[in-house]
Amino acid sequence: MAEAGDDEADRVRHRVVGDLRGGGSELDALAKVCDACVELLPVDGASVSVMTGDLGRECLYATDRVAARIEAVQFSLGEGPCFQAFDTKRPALAPNLRDVAWPVFAAEIGAEPVGALFGFPLVAGAISIGALDLYRRTPGWLSAAQLRVALRLVDVATLVLLGLGLDRAAGAWTDLPLRRAQVHQAVGMLIAEFGVSPEHALARLRGHAFTTGRLVDEVADDLVSRRLHPADVGGA
């Protein structure tokens, strides 16, 4: 017999599908999924990102400031639950932030009220398209039943991004508005300045951000706004 959480997750799916078929936006649908995670699970925040690799990553929705901060720090460092989930196509579950495989990330996020993190890959067949992250203020596992609900909601988020069953072309998620354009522009500036690969350019950005105690987004904005010259961004 399905538990109450399973039923609620199914209701979220039907509501999201109905909204999309009625002309609703993908971003609004993703917001409903993330909000449902907080309502149905013992977590305090959620976020969802699309990813095409180390550089192609965009957080589409975060429920609160802490969830958004978690996403920004992960992108700056290139490590954390969303990267692990995306790379391995398996959930990255960290019930205690003090005992994780991402020590630099844990140290950087240590000032935030985060005790546990759970990253889930958004996967369609053999293709990873993104990740959904959940955090809670206190350490602790999700139960088997709660994990089942989380995976149902992950399926809904994947459905939204791919438009499966909604008469939309697979991959339509790539048309969603992206907000990290300044990072891509800054990477292009470093490529032009040093003749390096995109991966190396991003590594330079991350290295400079880490050594100066800032986020990659902030360093990129300074480069694009000419407050920082490419030559000021050290090698990596």
Express each pLDDT in 172-216 by its tens digit: 444 444 556 777 788 888 888 888 887 788 888 888 888 888 888
Q: What is the rounded distance in angstroms from the CA atom of residue 29 to the CA atom of residue 161? A: 9
CA 141 from chain centre, in angstroms, equals 20
8 Å CB contact between 233 and 193: no
pLDDT at 176 (0 to 100) = 44
Q: What is the rounded distance in angstroms from the CA atom of residue 90 to the CA atom of residue 100? A: 16
CA 74 from chain centre, in angstroms, equals 8
pLDDT at 134 (0 to 100) = 98
pLDDT at 197 (0 to 100) = 82
pLDDT at 55 (0 to 100) = 59
Q: In what order do the strands lie in the sheet with 45-51?
A: 57-62, 45-51, 127-136, 116-124, 92-94
**What are the tens digits of pLDDT across the range 85-139?**
999 999 999 999 988 889 999 999 999 999 999 999 998 777 788 899 999 999 9
Instruction: State the pLDDT confidence band at 35, using cuts at 50, 70 and 90.
Output: very high
pLDDT at 64 (0 to 100) = 97
pLDDT at 51 (0 to 100) = 83
Q: Is the pLDDT of residue 222 over 60?
A: yes
SS3 content of the chain, % helix, strand, coil (to 5): 55, 15, 35
Q: What is the rounded distance in angstroms from the CA atom of residue 227 to the CA atom of residue 219? A: 9
pLDDT at 171 (0 to 100) = 42
String of DSSP letters for 10-27: HHHHHHHHHHHHTT--HH
Inter-CA distances, 79 with 39, 58, 71, 112, Å: 27, 14, 10, 17
In three-state secondary structure terms, 53 is coil
Q: What is the rounded distance in angstroms from the CA atom of residue 178 to the CA atom of residue 56? A: 10
Mean pLDDT, the chain, as a whole number?
85
Q: What integer is the mean pLDDT of 62-72?
A: 96
In three-state secondary structure terms, 130 is strand
Q: What integer is the mean pLDDT of 24-33?
A: 90
